[in-house]
Amino acid sequence: MEFFISTLTIFTTLMSSGGFIIDRAFSNAIKQNSASVEQIEVRVENVPTHNIIKGEIDSIKLAVRGWGLREHFRLDVFELETDPLKFDFSRIREINAENWQEIVQSDINLGIRTVLTEDDLNAMVRSPRALEIIASSIPPSSPEGFELEEVSLNLRPNQRIRLNTIARSQTPGVRVDFSIEFGIELIGTERLRIVEPVGTFNGRPISERLLQGFTENFNMRLNLNALQRFGVVARLLQVDIKDEDIGITALIHVPNR
């Protein structure tokens, strides 16, 4: 979910750049609000050009390679394209998270495609928030006094992912090794679901009952309808898991009112 919120936040930041009508200003806005960027291509399309002064844009197209939005969050590829936009040109320099609906006078519709490598994903799962979620989901519940020591993700064939974790105890020499492999299934356009999980706990197979607890915990977090409380409607069109990366294609709709 954080991915879609970040996309919307960055997009509205782009619109607030002082040099809104210049492609270079968009590039500068991305660099100034990111941890790192390897390559950027931005194109503002408008025919005729003078419509920008009227507050009308046909489309914004953005392509970024090697985009580190912040620590632990990097996208190998990010591409975005908007539908036509209308806005109050005289106030565009004032735009912020509180007043954007007054200045942007149309709904925001975005088509996005992103690719995350296995290394990108491993950086994300090792972030403090991700470690907290994983620790609370390990079956059986991680005993008091244990904390995650190692976490890694491996992308597998046939839309599958393998998660490996090692937790250590405050008692010297006591460690817990948990591994689980599962498939990812797209349900409609609103939900991802973990399917066909198999795993081991300290080398022993995990029971179906415990695996069900793990999958239910994660599946609750993979419902895009949760974004509607932020006024965002997100729809996944494709999730493609390969040996080396994951590709995601989605549509995002933010109503003006």
Closest CA to 64 of 72, 73, 55, 54: 73
Integer Cα distance of 87 and 38 in angstroms: 30
Span 152-184, pLDDT tens digits: 999 998 899 999 988 877 667 677 888 999 999
Residue 49 has a pLDDT of 65
pLDDT of residue 7: 62
User: Cα separation of 186 and 194, whole Å?
Assistant: 9
112-127 tens-digit pLDDT: 999 999 999 999 988 8
Confidence of residue 100 (pLDDT cuts 50, 70, 90): confident
Q: What global pTM score does this model have? A: 0.79
Count of beta carbons in the 10 Å neighbourhood of residue 145: 11
Return d(Cα 115, Cα 241) in angstroms, integer: 10
Q: Is 52 exposed, middle or buried (0-12, 13-18, 19+ CB in 10 A)?
A: middle
Q: How many CA atoms lie within 13 A of 51 on its CB side?
A: 13
Look at residue 74 in the predicted model and tell me its pLDDT: 93
pLDDT band per the 50, 70, 90 thresholds, residue 22: very low
Residue whose C-alpha is closest to residue 134's, from 156, 158, 152: 152
Render the chain in DSSP notation, one character per residue.
Answer: -HHHHHHHHHHHHHHT-TTTTSHHHHHHHHHHTSSEEEEEEEEEE-SSGGGGTTTEESEEEEEEEEEEEETTEEEEEEEEEE--EEB-GGGGGG--TTTHHHHB-S-EEEEEEEEEEHHHHHHHHTSHHHHHHHHHHSSSPPPTTEEEEEEEEEEETTTEEEEEEEEEESSTT-EEEEEEEEEEEEETTTEEEEEEEEEEETTEEPPHHHHHHHHHHHHGGGBGGGGGGGT-EEEEEEEEE-SSEEEEEEEEEE---
d(CA 39, CA 65) in angstroms, rounded, equals 5
Q: Report the share of the chain in percent with pLDDT over 70.
A: 80
Q: Does residue 21 carry a pLDDT above 50?
A: no
The CA-CA-CA angle for residues 85, 88, 90, to 5°, reads 135
Helix axes 208-219, 128-137, angle to 10 degrees: 140
Question: Highest-confidence range of 122-136, 141-155, 184-198, by mean pLDDT?
Answer: 184-198
Instruction: Specify the length of the chain in residues.
Output: 257
Q: Are strands 108-117 and 73-82 parallel, antiparallel or unpaired?
A: antiparallel
Whole-number Å distance between alpha carbons of 27 and 50: 22
